Amino acid sequence: MKAIVATGAGGPEVLSLTEVPTPVPGPGEVLIDVVAAGINRADVQQRRGFYPPPAGASQILGLEVSGRIAGFGPNVTKAFSMGEKVVALLTGGGYASQVVAPAGQVLALPEGLDVISSAGLPEVAATVHSNLFMTAQLQAGETVLIHGGSGGIGAMAIQLAKAAGARVIATAGSDEKVAMLTSYLGADAAVNYRNEDFVERVRQFTQGAGANVILDVVGAKYLARNVESLATYGRLVVIGLQGGATAELNLGALLTKRAAIIGTTLRARPVAEKATIMEGVREHVWPLVSSGAVKPMVDRTFPLEQVAAAHEYFDSGAHVGKVLLTL
């Protein structure tokens, strides 16, 4: 089958299309003919040599796909039919014409959504649902600060938080993106982090109370300012390290606010835990997508063989929402 492999660690030029053996589904797994695959920040970090896949996982990039059921391993108890259109959350292997996935991480498409657009949903929906609601316990009426609001995760987080009745402040890197966050995605306020201080905007927006929840993809660079932005009993959930992994923290500020800092990843979680998350996505997110309350954000699609160009575009930061590879 066709698949994208990295010939080394580096820029998009290390990615190339080649032939590899077709995967065989094991116990509890399904085989999927891939129609489209989403590009995620984790793929870029793996390409650069900074984020190797967990032990036993495919070395092929790609953490989410859409496609059609093409086969079953032993002991699959979840009811799928051959040819059924599905999406899957993966530990790797998505940049290929076929992939295997645990059945618990596979969902039928949201009603009314096309198979290509659906490819950009599994990773962001699972990440946002698990972190904002299962971990941070975001409630209606609370204020959430979402960093990287114009990316795939940010766009999903804004929409799901608003659907839950929360007040949303989001950050982005240009005035055009800031305008989109409020006019299209529904954020209550947006901050251009290149020329505005998000700490001051949070203070103004909340009349000094602070944000109850912060979803952060930046990490070290924002740590102190995030803690400053938290409300009493606030929860800072760190899910990315784009701004570094090491920073000093004034623990006194954290203790005074009786606040919490939580770090999570999705890729290395046990299969059973991911299945629970995906069931939550099916129950809580899919109805919002089907009703139109949550809109999949697809910026651009590239054919699989143009993966280097797709990664170059992703690396530029010009995209708003998801970048997809299509087969």
Chain position carrying tokens 């995209």 = 319
Cα 3 to Cα 15: distance, rounded to the nearest angstrom:
10
Q: Is the CB of residue 327 less than 8 Å from the CB of residue 306? A: no
Reference 53, options 61, 100, 307; nearest CA is 61
Chain position carrying tokens 């991911």 = 274
Cα 76 to Cα 212: distance, rounded to the nearest angstrom:
41
Nearest 5°: CA angle at 144, between 142 and 148?
165
Domains and CATH numbers, the chain: 2-121+267-326 (3.90.180.10), 125-263 (3.40.50.720)
Chain position carrying tokens 């990615």 = 15
| pTM listed for this prediction | 0.95
Q: Computed over its alpha carbons, how large is the radius of gyration of the chain?
A: 19
Cα 237 to Cα 229: distance, rounded to the nearest angstrom:
13
For every one of its 327 residues, what pLDDT tens digit does the chain have, with 9 covering 90 and above? 999 999 999 999 999 999 999 999 999 999 999 999 999 999 999 999 999 999 989 999 999 999 999 999 999 988 899 999 999 999 999 999 999 999 999 999 999 999 999 999 999 999 999 999 999 999 999 999 999 999 999 999 999 999 999 999 999 999 999 999 999 999 999 999 999 999 999 999 999 999 999 999 999 999 999 999 999 999 999 999 999 999 999 999 999 999 999 999 999 999 999 999 999 999 999 999 999 999 999 999 999 999 999 999 999 999 999 999 999
